[in-house]
Amino acid sequence: MIRLVTRDLALAVRAGGGFGLGLAFFLVVTVLVPFGVGPEAAILGPIAPGILWIGALLACLLSLDRVFALDREDGALDLLATAPLPMEGIALAKAAAHWLSTGLPLSLAAAPLGVLLSLPWPGHLWLALSLLMGTPALSLIGTFGAALTVGLRRGGPLLSLLVLPLYVPTLVFGADVARRGAAGLDPATPLALLGAVTLGCLAGLPFAAAAALRVSIR
Amino acid sequence: MRIAARGLTAGRGGVPVLSGMDFAVAPGRALILRGPNGAGKTTLLRTIAGLQPPMAGTVEPDRDAVAYGGHADGMKGQLTVAENLSFWAGLHRTGGIGAALDAFALAPLEDRLAQHLSAGQRRRLGLARMMVTGRPVWCLDEPTVSLDAANTARFAAMVRRHLEGGGTAVLATHIDLGLDAETLDVARHRAVFGDAARAAGAPA
């Protein structure tokens, strides 16, 4: 399983792997917001946690259609399915590789980007923490969606439609953690709920993704 | 390891393609599948490899004993020849990749990115993967496509060594590899369904 994760990371980092794509997209979205709503800190500050969370979420979505589609195109998915690795392990490894190449760099980049949106000070830490806790759920849900649509030609747009509604709980709790943190309130409750969503996804979705994969390689 | 199918019906997308298949392949022997395009050779191979469940009947051995090699070789263009093989060797927890590189004279290409290989070289890499799986049963779909005469001979030698080691192989191929093998014409097992079945009075 670790081999599959390291292979996918190597593929993501090498030419054409799309490693920096999500990060660059996140940066561009964040830079565009002040152009759209004006540069006043009084306006930007309160909406910054929500904007940054939505930006990270969309950046996550950008690389999802590659999760299984590339392996299916070149036949590697069939070979993986016959390898001594349970389908659940493949799904989990794919989600882990997606998080390490997308969710983790986004979480680390979010705090510096908060400065661009005049996010009030302690908010940066809470934003980074909420993304660190929430993005694994985004990768797991996205992997499940990718497994469902891997058999479809041009499944990318359908994948977005399937996955975005499932992102709502993570977005609500994640942005609330950052907002409360920035406003100096106690973010413990949304933080606990965010963790619960992520753990729930971790417990259930690899199995769902594996079932979807088994159907689509038939 | 022995391959055996009893009353096997194989199909794709819920439509039976082949039915009433009964065959057995003893260790050290190979089975060559023949039949026109679309006869169901790939469907049968995928069923034996466990990529899709049989629609009826049983097939041995368990999928954990089978290595499958399809039309697409599953090699990543951004990885080198050695990295590709090492990945599969690691996944199957087998030893080094030296023997597999030697079997197809891939050692000079070891550090070349797979995307810079020619079609024949890629195919050799895909076939070399079969050796690093360490599985006793090989299912190969049109393995000699884009191979030249010398490499077809290398491939035949690789399969022969595999059979001598007690392995078995099922190959869908149109050329004569000179193997000690039975031949199965899948066209004779074509499933009857839909209108044709009703006309013949057989259950669909």
Complex ipTM, two decimals? 0.84
Q: Which residue did the predictor score with more confidence, A14 or A197?
A: A197
Cβ neighbourhood burial of A65 (10 Å; 0-12, 13-18, 19+): buried
Find the mean pLDDT for residues A63-86.
Answer: 87
Provide the domain count of chain B: 1
| Mutation for B interface: A13, A71, A72, A79, most B CBs within 10 A | A79
Bridge partners of B15, per DSSP, are B12
Q: Is residue B20 within 8 Å of residue B7, measured between CB atoms?
A: yes
Taking the C-alpha atoms of residue B113 and residue A209, their distance in angstroms, rounded to an integer, is 31
Taking the C-alpha atoms of residue A70 and residue A75, their distance in angstroms, rounded to an integer, is 9
> Would you state the pLDDT for residue B185?
84
Q: Is A211 on the interface with B (CB under 8 A)?
A: no
CB contact under 8 A, A84 and B90: no
> Would you state the pLDDT for residue B202?
47
Mean pLDDT of chain A: 89
Q: What are the structure tokens assigned to B124, written together?
A: 């050799």
Choose among B53, B71, B90: nearest Cβ to A3.
B90
Per-residue exposure over B41-63, b if at least 16 CB sit within 10 Å of its own CB, e if not = bbbbbbbbbbbbebbebebebeb
Provide the domain count of chain A: 1
Range of the domain at A180: 2-217
> Would you state the pLDDT for residue B50?
87
Render pLDDT for B86-109 as a digit per residue (tens, 0 to 9): 888 888 888 778 888 888 888 888
Which CATH number covers residue B109? Answer: 3.40.50.300
> pLDDT confidence of A175, banded at 50, 70, 90?
very high
Query: A8: distance to nearest CA of chain B, Å?
Result: 10
Find the mean pLDDT for residues A50-72.
Answer: 89
Nearest CA in chain B to A72: B74
> Would you state the pLDDT for residue B190?
82
Render pLDDT for B26-51 as a digit per residue (tens, 0 to 9): 888 889 988 888 888 888 899 998 88
Choose among B52, B68, B93: nearest Cβ to A79.
B68
Render pLDDT for A177-206 as a digit per residue (tens, 0 to 9): 998 988 888 888 999 999 999 999 999 999
Q: Is A85 on the interface with B (CB under 8 A)?
A: yes
Which residues, 6 or more positions from B23, have their beta carbon under 8 angstroms from its beta carbon? Answer: B3, B4, B5, B31, B182, B184
CB contact under 8 A, B70 and A73: no
Nearest 5°: CA angle at A115, between A112 and A121? Answer: 100
Range of the domain at B159: 3-200
Please list every residue in chain B whose beta carbon sits closer than 8 Å to the beta carbon of residue A3. 87, 90-91
Which segments of chain B are extended strands (E)? 3-12, 15-25, 30-34, 56-60, 66-69, 137-141, 168-172, 181-185
Contacts 24+ apart (CB under 8 A), A153-161: A155/A65, A155/A69, A156/A65, A159/A64, A159/A65, A160/A61, A160/A64
Render pLDDT for A120-169 as a digit per residue (tens, 0 to 9): 888 888 999 999 999 999 999 999 999 999 888 788 888 989 999 999 99
Q: Is B76 on the interface with A (CB under 8 A)?
A: yes
CB contact under 8 A, A74 and B76: yes
